[in-house]
Amino acid sequence: MLLDRCLELLAPALDAPGRSNRNAVHVDATLGLGGHAEAVLARHPRLVLVGLDRDPNALRLSGERLSGYADRTHLVHAVYDELPEVLDDLEVDEIDGALFDLGVSSMQLDEAERGFAYAQDAPLDMRMDPTTGITAEEVVNTYEAAELSRILRVYGEERFASRVASAIVRERGRARITSSARLAELVRDSIPAPARRTGGHPAKRTFQALRIEVNGELDALRKALPAVLDRLAIGGRMVVLSYHSLEDRITKQAMAARARSTGPVDLPVELPGSGPKLRLLTRGAELPGSEEVAANPRAASVRLRAAERIDESKRAQVKALHQPVARGGRARPGNPRESEQGEGP
């Protein structure tokens, strides 16, 4: 199961004796309902948790769930790209573990009034933090056709982005689009009948694209991942669960950039500051098993990547250790240079 795999990957960093006589610090950057956080706190009785979420309702519910651990939790209303400021406010210089479980939460999908779900009629909102920012209704009714098309094509990987955007513009010329059901109907009618028969609901990609735009998810992730990797202590680990190819690509690039040397390849030793800063713990992206998908269909698209902060000055150890970690904890054989490049799905 994905939860068990996350715990397995994080455990070596969180079990290690506190550096400089401090307890391990773990960041849950996407707290949600607190399921991952609860499991980590239960397994590591001295660990301090810093949990972030932009959704005030999620923070309230997770706070209730984690009330038994209140003496070693800090739950903060923030987006994950604000983590450096959050850690500074808490006077935390470095962290030992970090987890990102990206995308929309089950709670947000199941709350019809939030407008995330195309299968239920609701106002077009889609804000993860309903207290701030633009809504999907504003995007749909005010963006130019070319910009709408770009968003649907890039964020939703919608093949018929131009057709959908044109249909939206025509419809809003007659009446403002305010309903998720109406938008889903427009999308369905815009897509050729043969294409509707595969790939799930025709509006799935459009709703995903609008959600990403409304919440600025990819821009926040591009800022957050390098910042978190740079705050990891030596031996600290980060695990990322992505549900969209663009999220996974950003994660892969952020990890790969720090997992390879930046110095000349023909030198026998690394120049100071040029050695790898990360060891990749997965070969490419790990996929969910069939049992996981059967139990939770929303997990079908998940991609898991993980990395460990290493001492960049110890190049000899890097050459020996820089192997992806297989399920069960043993290093897999493979080409170290391939791992450093972040190759894989």
**Strand-pair category, 95-101 with 25-28:** parallel
The reply, when asked if residue 329 is annotated as ligand binding, is no
Rounded to whole angstroms, what are the CA distances from 186 to 153, 177, 284? 16, 10, 38
- Rounded to a whole number of angstroms, the CA Rg of the chain reads 22
For residue 77, count other CB atoms closer than 10 A to its CB: 17
Is 155 annotated to bind ligand?
Answer: no
Dmax (CA) for the chain in angstroms is 70
* Residue pair 102/243 in contact by the 8 Å Cβ criterion: yes
34 known member of a binding site: yes
36 assigned ligand-binding residue: yes
Does 18 show up as a binding residue in the annotation? no
Q: Is 80 annotated as belonging to a binding site?
A: yes
Report, in this order, helix, strand and coil percent for the chain, each rounded to 5: 50, 15, 35
95, 28 contact by CB (below 8 A): no
Beta strands in 54-129 (DSSP E): 73-77, 95-101
* 323 marked ligand binding residue: no
Q: Which residues are annotated as a binding site for S-adenosyl-L-methionine?
A: 34-36, 53, 80, 101, 108
Q: Which residues are annotated as a binding site?
A: 34-36, 53, 80, 101, 108
